[in-house]
A = this chain, B = another copy of it.
Amino acid sequence: MRFLSACGLQKTDKIPVWFMRQAGRSLPEYRALRKTGDILAAIRNPEVAYEITMQPVHRHKVDAAILFCDIVVPLAAIDPSISIVPGTGPVISSPFRGRSDLARIRDLDPEEDIPYVLETVKALSNQEVPLIGFAGAPFTLASYLIEGGPSRDHARTKALMIDDPQLFQDLLSRLARLSSSFLDAQIQAGARAVQLFDSWVGTLSKQDYVAHVQAHTREIFENVAVPTIHYGLGTDHLIESISQTGPRVISLDWRTPLDLARTRYGSRFAIQGNLDPSVLLASPEAAFAQVRSTLIKAGPEPGYIFNLGHGVLPETDPEILTEIVKIVHDHDVK
């Protein structure tokens, strides 16, 4: 399986490719299946979640499936104040405000709390491509809990971080345990690799990342037996510090030059990325030229996985994605 080989810095016959948010609103078959229903309801239905996970694998022939799920699923399973609002994202009706809220983040009992995830993963574990499980990283999960939903500035999160660093540590520690359990459950059920999404950690300075976040992310990676991938948006200034948390693969956005990252980190880490998903809204010719340029920057060394620098935008034409998979697979890796 070329995706797993690339994670392990092994030579592959073709460059492996998958897309963040490959299962989602860019696919008409997804929109037909989901309609306007609650996304958490779809995630909690193993037949639906299985089908949505496999849709892009069948259509695009990508080299990995990624579980149809959401980073707030384990939190929502233990805290009924969390929902996912269409067009908004995760909403926490009763945000995290102080030490007494820590108790709300109890340990996850996967068999009891998220049996539907285990069932979906098991059904997906014997497909032609490996299944990637995933979890939210402690900082990103904490930001949702503290802000009460998506946020542009993450101001309350950072204010709590400097006001009460010990409480912040305790919160991230609990969230790290939650995410570890969530990842472990997916691995036990058959996920062959896992991606940790610290999507919003790029809002921090390096100094704050190292002081308040890094150790919790490292703790998660230390306890995972399958290949691990770290993803964060706008984290170019944090790459050195992120690399010290011990992922097997670093997933880059387009702000980090791929050729420099491959030269700099390519022998220690596999690199995933980093085409700007906005490019896929351009004409096919322009988009494909950028794909080819990305492949050239990735260079000939093993340990590279083609992906976008962020999730597929909902308005993306899925035929462009299918064609990109072909271009990546046709790229000469000799």
Interface residues of A (CB under 8 A from B): 153-160, 162-163, 202, 204-207, 234, 236-237, 254-257, 276-279, 281-283, 286-287, 290, 310, 313, 315
Contact = CB atoms under 8 A, between A and B. Distances in A.
Given A255-B205, A277-B153, A159 B237 contact: no
B281 A155 contact: yes
A278 B153 contact: yes
Contacts of A204: 255
A287 B160 CA distance: 11
Nearest to A313: B155
B278 A159 contact: yes
Q: Which 6 A-B pairs have the closest CB atoms?
A: A155-B278, A158-B278, A159-B281, A159-B282, A163-B282, A236-B237
A154 B278 contact: yes
Contact of A255 (B237, B257, B287): B237
A205 B254 contact: yes
A324 to B, nearest CB: 15
A196 to B, nearest CB: 21
Judged by DSSP, the binding face of A is helix
Contacts of A290: 162
Q: How many copies does the complex hold?
A: 2
Contact of A237 (B156, B163, B256, B287): B256
A276 B158 contact: yes
Contacts of A255: 202, 204-206, 237
Contacts of A205: 254-255, 257, 276
B202 A163 contact: no
30 contacts: A153-B277, A153-B310, A155-B277, A155-B278, A155-B281, A155-B315, A156-B281, A157-B278, A158-B276, A158-B278, A158-B281, A158-B282, A159-B278, A159-B279, A160-B282, A162-B279, A162-B286, A163-B283, A163-B286, A202-B234, A202-B255, A204-B255, A205-B254, A205-B255, A205-B257, A205-B276, A207-B257, A236-B237, A237-B255, A237-B256
A49 to B, nearest CB: 26
Contacts of A310: 153
Nearest to A153: B278
A240 to B, nearest CB: 12
B162 A282 contact: yes
A286 B158 CA distance: 11
A67 to B, nearest CB: 24
Contacts of A286: 162-163
**Residue in A204, A236, A290 whose Cβ sees the most chain B Cβ within 10 Å:** A236
A153 B312 CA distance: 11
Contacts of A158: 276, 278-279, 281-282
A238 to B, nearest CB: 9
B162 A313 contact: no
A155 B287 CA distance: 13
